[in-house]
Chains A and B, each alone.
Chain A
Amino acid sequence: MATIKLGNIVKTYRKGDVPTIKSISLDIKDKEFVVLVGPSGCGKSTLMRMIAGLEEISSGDMHFGDLRVNELSPKERNIAMVFQNYALYPHMTVFDNIAFSFKLQKTPKDEIQRKVTEAARILGIEHLLDRTPREMSGGQRQRVAIGRAIVRNPDVFLFDEPLSNLDASLRVQMRTEIKKLHKQLNATMVYVTHDQIEAMTMGDRIVVLKAGIVQQFDTPMNLFHEPVNKFVAGFIGSPAMNFLDGEIILEDKLKFRSKDVKFGVPDALVEKLKGNVGKEVTYGFRPEYIYDKNYEKVRWLSEDVAVMIDNVEPTGSETFNYFHFVGNPAQTYCFRTNSEQDYKIGDIIRIGVDIERLRFFDKETEARIA
């Protein structure tokens, strides 16, 4: 059983310093693909390195299954790691790179040959076995690095931003291959990335980290639709969620009011927001759920408001439209449309947000209220 349990894990590099990891507790299930995602410096690589045994744990407990691994060296944890810079041994051939751990264990030659050949076949690199790393492309090197990991048949695979050095199209291809590998090997995988699209497409569950604290540990769709705070809401999703500061007021009914808009709070959210009358809140609305009143006749939208188009970015199948609320050009927001809706810079349109997709966050704590 390759479960990983982190109990109040703390990492401090020097006594008296602010902890890099501030008491993280996670339960990673057997055979799960978990992604650690967050901005640079959030502690995701540090956390992964503690799982690998490359960093000491300052306090807390880490278990692989029933085994407490805090004091165990990397080789004793039965893990394999794929590094961002591949970390292939430059003076060894691909065969020797993949076979290295077996040679250390004095595995018989024919067994090494069999295992290396099998791993090479799975990754499509049999024709590269006699080459050295410098004779290969980035994508090929990354496959060799993955081959070196899978051949060891570990309990846990760790990937530390393995696709960061690859070009965009290769990244998409390798993403799919790693996901396929997960299905094939049926192993627990922990994957670090700063790319939230990579996280969303690959993870069974995602750990969103900020400043050494777990913000949310949930499935991709839950993170997208039900973020627990403003940070998660803004980090997950591309383009990012739009935010508008304002307050909850009570007129004839409960309303949200900001400098640019005022609209009635949907009935479904009244119960959650009524205790916040007079309080400052942040209203979050995703680009995907903003609709032009002229085009959208089916969905139940919030009260519409006039906006002016600032910029248009067609991507082929869809268009990102940047706008500001009429009368306030200082703040720009984004909404997505299909490519048939052809706006020009300067167009004034009326938009509304899918009523089921309004999100409100406490302005001070940034926690989600509704």
Chain B
Amino acid sequence: MKKIKLQKVFFLVFLLVVSAIYIGPFLFSLSISFNTNKDVFQWPIQLIPDSVTLANYKSVWNDLPFARWLINSLLVTTIQTVSNVFFSALAGFAFARLEFPGKKLIFTLLISSLMIPGIILLVPKFIILNELHLVNTYPGLIIPGLVSITNIFLMKQFFESIPKDLEEAALIDGCSYFRIFWQIFLPISKPALAAVAIYTFQGSWNEFLWPVIVLYSDNMYTLPLGMASLKDELQTNWPLLMAGTILISLPTLAIFIIFQRYFVEGVASTGLKG
């Protein structure tokens, strides 16, 4: 009994330490965002500021083109999320359920491309967009993120777990393959679709590297890029920056809390047989 109690205490301490490591920086950012004092690197760290103010949040909204950046982020994220959900489901279904020449080869090539570090593809992507005169445009920002191979793989795995009987019953009832996809498979794929939507939303909303490469106009910036532009080499208004960062993180936090169930179900169901 004593041994079990000791183990429990040890695990509790370990979890508290790990939680502190993960949540600590967020709490510190939150604290700075409510602070008036710009000197935030004092030691010891003051988690609860002397005077709490909302002025930084007001300043983010009023003094910066935050609304414009927000609209840009919403536009890009929404289009990429919807597009990813639709096309990865469609492609995943094709790879999981249809037979066509070269299927294995095409899928192998797609999966193999995941081995190429994304950073290597940045220059070729930029060159292509430049040739197409899409640099610093919404299409240039959005198109490269319309479909993700990881999402296709996720959906393929999920669709493969659906019993073949369902597809065959639908065929006998008179369904075409598109109808089987649209009326039978999609409605029962909510956990997987939710996982794709959440992953894509999160990735797209927080995306920094591609916007910083393809955009050069202030009014085209997305939120992460806009916030990063506040950081100067010589001087940074940390409370303002942290306020903006907290605001940016709220949607992903909310989505995770609301759709947590689907998140876990979706990840688990892609590995299980139906």
B166-189 interface bits toward A, Cβ cutoff 8 Å, 1 = contact, 0 = none:
101111111100010000100110
| CB <8 Å contact, A75 and B172 | yes
Chain A residues with CB below 8 A from B166, complex form = 87, 89
| CB <8 Å contact, A90 and B188 | yes
Q: How many A-B residue pairs have CB under 8 A?
A: 49
Q: Is A52 an interface residue (CB 8 A)?
A: yes
Q: Is A343 an interface residue (CB 8 A)?
A: no
Question: In A75-108, which residues have CB < 8 Å from any B CB?
Answer: 75, 79-81, 83-91, 100-101, 104-105
Chain A residues with CB below 8 A from B174, complex form = 75, 101, 104-105
B160 to nearest A CB, angstroms? 16
Q: Is B165 an interface residue (CB 8 A)?
A: yes
A74 vs B187: C-alpha distance in the bound complex, in angstroms? Answer: 23
Chain A residues with CB below 8 A from B187, complex form = 91
Q: Is A73 an interface residue (CB 8 A)?
A: yes
A73 vs B184: C-alpha distance in the bound complex, in angstroms? Answer: 19
A216 vs B238: C-alpha distance in the bound complex, in angstroms? Answer: 86
Interface size on A, residues (CB 8 A): 22
| CB <8 Å contact, A80 and B179 | no
Q: Is A54 an interface residue (CB 8 A)?
A: yes
Q: Is B163 an interface residue (CB 8 A)?
A: yes
Closest chain A residue to B173, Cβ basis: A101
A274 to nearest B CB, angstroms? 54
A264 vs B58: C-alpha distance in the bound complex, in angstroms? Answer: 110
A224 vs B174: C-alpha distance in the bound complex, in angstroms? Answer: 40
Closest chain A residue to B175, Cβ basis: A104
A288 vs B174: C-alpha distance in the bound complex, in angstroms? Answer: 49
A83-B168, A87-B168, A91-B188 are known contacts. Are A104 and B163 too (CB-CB below 8 A)?
Answer: no
A90-B188, A104-B179 are known contacts. Are A75 and B171 too (CB-CB below 8 A)?
Answer: yes
* A79, A85, A91, A100: the one within 8 Å of B165 (CB): A85
Chain B residues with CB below 8 A from A89, complex form = 166, 169-170, 184
| CB <8 Å contact, B172 and A52 | yes
Chain A residues with CB below 8 A from B163, complex form = 85, 87
A45 to nearest B CB, angstroms? 12
B141 to nearest A CB, angstroms? 36
Chain B residues with CB below 8 A from A104, complex form = 173-175, 179
A167 vs B184: C-alpha distance in the bound complex, in angstroms? Answer: 29
Closest chain A residue to B172, Cβ basis: A74
B174 to nearest A CB, angstroms? 4
Question: In B91-142, which residues have CB < 8 Å from any A CB?
Answer: none
A74 vs B169: C-alpha distance in the bound complex, in angstroms? Answer: 10
A212 vs B96: C-alpha distance in the bound complex, in angstroms? Answer: 29
| CB <8 Å contact, A81 and B172 | yes
A156 to nearest B CB, angstroms? 11
Chain B residues with CB below 8 A from A75, complex form = 171-174
| CB <8 Å contact, B171 and A54 | yes
| CB <8 Å contact, B172 and A80 | yes
A207 to nearest B CB, angstroms? 22
Chain B residues with CB below 8 A from A105, complex form = 174
A54 vs B169: C-alpha distance in the bound complex, in angstroms? Answer: 10
Could you say which of A52, A79, A83 has the most chain B C-beta atoms within 10 Å of its C-beta?
A83
A54-86 interface bits toward B, Cβ cutoff 8 Å, 1 = contact, 0 = none:
100000000000000000011100011101111
A230 vs B251: C-alpha distance in the bound complex, in angstroms? Answer: 72
B171 to nearest A CB, angstroms? 5
- Sample 5 A-B pairs with CB under 8 A, ordered by A number: A73-B171, A74-B168, A87-B168, A89-B170, A91-B188
Taking beta carbons and an 8 Å cutoff, which residues of B are in contact with A?
Answer: 163, 165-166, 168-175, 179, 184, 187-188
Kindly list the 9 A-B residue pairs having the minimum CB-CB distance in the complex, ordered from nearest: A87-B165, A87-B169, A75-B174, A101-B173, A91-B187, A74-B172, A83-B165, A104-B174, A74-B171
